[in-house]
């Protein structure tokens, strides 16, 4: 019984990689590590501007789900 060499979380018995990491390994073999790394950086790693946009969108969604803007007004008055 060992721990997966890649994620270091899943337990493996007869292989080095768990099933998820084995799939990742096959994808890396098909597309190449460089292209996969580039895609992950562009898609998964967000810059500060992108994070702020996401936070604003989530706040707007929460306000809309409440049906009023009291939450947003309260947040603004607390930050001043
Ligand atoms: Zn794994």
Q: How many domains does the chain have?
A: 2
Same domain flag for 38 and 52:
no
User: Do residues 53 and 38 both lie within one domain?
Assistant: no
In this structure, are 37 and 56 located in the same domain?
no
Q: How far is the CA of 51 from the centre of ligand 1 (A)?
A: 28
Q: Please check whether residues 35 and 63 belong to one and the same domain.
A: no
- pTM of the complete model: 0.58
Q: How far apart are CA 51 and CA 68, in angstroms?
A: 24
Range of the domain at 68: 48-79
Same domain, 6 and 37: yes
Residues 34 and 62 in one domain: no
Do 38 and 55 lie in a common domain? no
Residue 12 Cα to ligand 1 midpoint, Å, equals: 8
Q: How far is the CA of 2 from the centre of ligand 1 (A)?
A: 11
Output the CA 16–ligand 1 centroid distance in Å.
8
Predicted confidence pLDDT, tens digits, the chain (80 residues): 899 999 999 999 999 999 999 999 999 999 999 999 999 998 888 888 888 998 999 999 988 888 765 655 655 565 54
Distance 26 CA to ligand 1 centre (A): 13
């Amino acid at each position: 019984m060992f721990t997966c060499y890649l994620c270091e979380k899943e337990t493996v018995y007869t292989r080095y990689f768990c099933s998820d990491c084995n799939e990742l390994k096959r994808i890396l073999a098909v597309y190449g590590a460089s292209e996969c790394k580039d895609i992950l950086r562009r898609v998964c790693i967000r810059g500060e501007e992108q994070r702020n946009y996401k936070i604003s969108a989530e706040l707007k969604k929460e306000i809309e789900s409440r049906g009023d803007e009291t939450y947003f007004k309260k947040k603004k008055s607390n930050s001043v």
